[in-house]
Amino acid sequence: MVTKQVVTIIVLAAILGLGINLFSPHKISYVGQYRPIIAGSGPIIPPEAVSEDPQFIGVDVAELAFKQKSTIFIDARELEEFECGTIPGSINIPFDYLPDDDLGKYFDSALGGNAKDHPIITFCSGSECDLSLHLARNLQAFGYTKVSIFFGGAREWEKTGMAMERRGECGE
């Protein structure tokens, strides 16, 4: 009897959930396209990524770019988190505090006047954080052509055993 009741509730919920989704303004596909997150097996691509987005790279590509010293790494988190621990040599452009006006000039200045085709990698905390994606989209919109997103972020970087740069205290 208990099993029957449990099955009844689940079946009813499935009928309602799957049925109402057909007509919902917030309808989603029944089978999502989510990439399993396994460090080291390639880039992590978030569910909200679209085909026009800059390319996503894995920790191996980020590490190679870091060793070649040919790429600007941009930490998109706020200053406190940046100072708590980041990829060494990164610059900080907190996405949440971007100016409303003259964003193009702001990017040019923050990136030290580097050419628009200079390789750039954006990152934030890790797969739980989408600031790197939003920052990369903005950089791309303002003409930067070689932007990549390291969605594994500082967390995957640190887990891989790569050095972190700590510039300040870690707050709560």
The Cα 161–Cα 39 span in angstroms is: 12
For another protein, the closer CB: 113 or 171: 171
CA dist 162 and 167 (Å) reads 16
CA separation for the pair 76, 63 (Å, rounded): 18
Q: Does 40 bind another protein (CB under 8 A)?
A: no
**From the CB of 166, what's the least distance to another protein, in Å?**
8
Our finding on whether 158 is near another protein (CB under 8 A) is yes
**Interface pick for another protein out of 63, 108, 119, 127 (rule CB under 8 A):** 127
The two structure tokens encoding residue 111: 């990136």
Site string for another protein, 86-125 (x = CB under 8 A): x-------------------------------------xx
Using CB under 8 A as the binding rule, whether residue 58 contacts another protein is answered as: no
Applying CB under 8 A, among 58, 66, 71, 81 the residue interacting with another protein is 81
Q: Which stretch binds another protein (CB under 8 A): 56-64, 65-73, 115-123, 149-157?
A: 149-157
What DSSP character marks residue 96?
G
Question: In Å, how far from its chain's centre is CA 140?
Answer: 15
| Angle at alpha carbon of residue 128, lines to 50 and 122, rounded to 5° | 60
32 sits near another protein (criterion: CB under 8 A): yes
The Cα 120–Cα 74 span in angstroms is 7
Cβ atoms within 10 Å of 78's Cβ, excluding its own:
16
- Which member of 23, 36, 50, 51 binds another protein (CB under 8 A)? 36
Verify binding: residue 29, another protein, rule CB under 8 A: yes
Q: Which of 141, 149, 147 is nearest to 120 (CA)?
A: 147
Only one of the segments 34-42, 65-73, 113-121, 140-148 lies at the binding site for another protein (rule: CB under 8 A); that segment is 34-42
